[in-house]
Each structure stands twice: as structure tokens, then as C-alpha cells.
Amino acid sequence: MSAATRKEWKEAIIEYSKELKLPAIRKYLEEYVQEACQRDACYEEFLAQLLQKECDARREASRYNRIRLAQFTHKKYLEDLSIKDLPEDAQKKLKILKTLDFLREGRNVILAGSPGTGKTHVAIGLGIKACMEGYKVWFTTVPLLINRIKECRAEQTLRAFQNRFEKYDLVIADEMGYISFDKEGSELLFTHLSLRAGRKSTIITTNLSFERWGEIFQDPVMTAAMIDRLTHQSYIINMNGNSYRMKETKEWLQKQQLA
């Protein structure tokens, strides 16, 4: 085949890849052609490897989009956790949570304990791992969630929001207990979390023990019902312990002094 004919075929492949939206094939075509020629690879091998590159690129783009759409406030990975500095109960149960079996089973995870012990880090780390494995995740704080629900109701878009909320494989509701709610907020939160109960997983982080949840819901009947719904067949992690965040701050200050 002449050089001119080869060039024409490559140009045609580039055009087809544009029309079919195959950017990785367009990007790596020349590299793979040269490699195939050097190794005298068969046509089937060359085509399979080029298509595999396109598939890999799409999977990576999908992972990136799922993480972006999850709206994490920070990128916190499980690999960055200092396991030995986590509360004892978290050390024991983290291995189970990492399997993401709780997602496949539709179980909730409640991380309850004192501030700074790694609750949000663990929650986001599990959320990012879920995104990487193909699950649809959404991260929010509880106060922001309640405000969002109120806004949707005022704008008459509540049904659309509820449909999206129900379909997430995992919702992470951070900071339960930092701010108390009015009666309307409590009822809306209860209603929406109940939509997912027993079907889809929710991770909740809270600095309050269950005995103190009445302080934020201000209704003993609703408080009891909320605890019952959320804790049924859930993983409850005791996060009381030394401040993980304070330890990191002290280490950072020490480094500044040595610099």
C-alpha cells in the first residue's frame, strides 16, 4: 500500500472517529499504528487494542463525571486515612465497609461521635470509592439538604427532586446535629430519608448520640421514628475518640517550626 493511500485511510479513520465520538481512537491512532507495524501485529489485535483504549478512556471519564456530580466538598480518599488513629470501632468495621456490600444490600451507615475523629473523611472516602465502582452518589450537609428541599417546594419542583433523591445509590448526609431544625425542616428531612429506607443506602455523620437527637428534631415521636428507620439493619460506627484533625494540625505546626 502506498504512503498516499495509507494517509487517506488514516484521515478517513480520524473523520469517522469524530462522527462516532471516539476521541481516544483519534488521539492514539498514529501511536498504535506504528506499534502494530513494528511488532507485525495482526489486524484483529490492532483493532482490539485500539478499541480497548477507547473503552478505558470512557470508563475513566465516567468515573470523573460521577465524582464531579457527587458534589463532594473535598476529595478525601480511604487510602489517605491513618487507620491506627481512627477510633477502635472504625478500625474494626472499615474493612467491611470498604467492600461496599452495604450499598449492594441497601443498608445505611451511621458514623456517630465526637468532632474531628474522621467521620467526614470516612464518609467521603466511601463515596469516592463508590463513584469509582460505578455507583451514583450525592454528598450534602443536612442543613443544606433541608434548605434545598424547602426551595424545591417553594419553586414547585419538589417531585422532580424527590425522584432524583430516591434514585441515588448512595446519599451522604453530613453534619447531622450541628444545627437544630424547625418543625417543618424536621418533617421534610424525615420524609425524604424515609423514601430511601430499606432500598437505597444513606451515610449519616453526626456528633450527637441517638439519645440527644431529640435536641435537633424537637419532637420525641418523630425522633424515635427517624432513629428506627435509619438504624434498621444499619452499620453503626462509634466514632468517639481522640481528634484525628487535631493530630494532623499538631503535626503540621511541628513541620512549620522545623522549616
Residues of the chain with pLDDT under 70: 1-4, 244-259
Q: Are 235 and 126 in contact (CB under 8 A)?
A: no
Tens-digit pLDDT profile for residues 13-30? 888 888 888 898 888 888
Q: Please name the amino acid found at residue 129.
A: K
Q: What is the pLDDT of residue 75?
A: 94
State how far the alpha carbon of 161 is from the alpha carbons of 129, 154, 156, 158, 164, in Å.
25, 12, 10, 5, 5
Q: Are 208 and 174 in contact (CB under 8 A)?
A: no
| Per-domain residue ranges of the chain | 3-69, 71-247
Q: How many CB atoms lie within 10 A of CB 70?
A: 22
| CATH number of the 71-247 domain | 3.40.50.300
Query: What 3-state class would DSSP assign to 172?
Result: strand
Q: What is the pLDDT of residue 146?
A: 95
Q: What is the pLDDT of residue 98?
A: 97
DSSP 239: -
In degrees and rounded to multiples of 5, residue 64 shows phi and psi of -60, -45
Query: Using CA atoms, how far apart are residues 154 and 244, in angstroms rounded to an integer?
Result: 40
The b/e string for 30-60 (b: 16+ C-beta within 10 A; e otherwise) is eebbeebeeeeeeeeebeeebeebbeebeee
CA atoms within 13 A on the CB side of 53: 15
Q: What is the pLDDT of residue 17?
A: 86
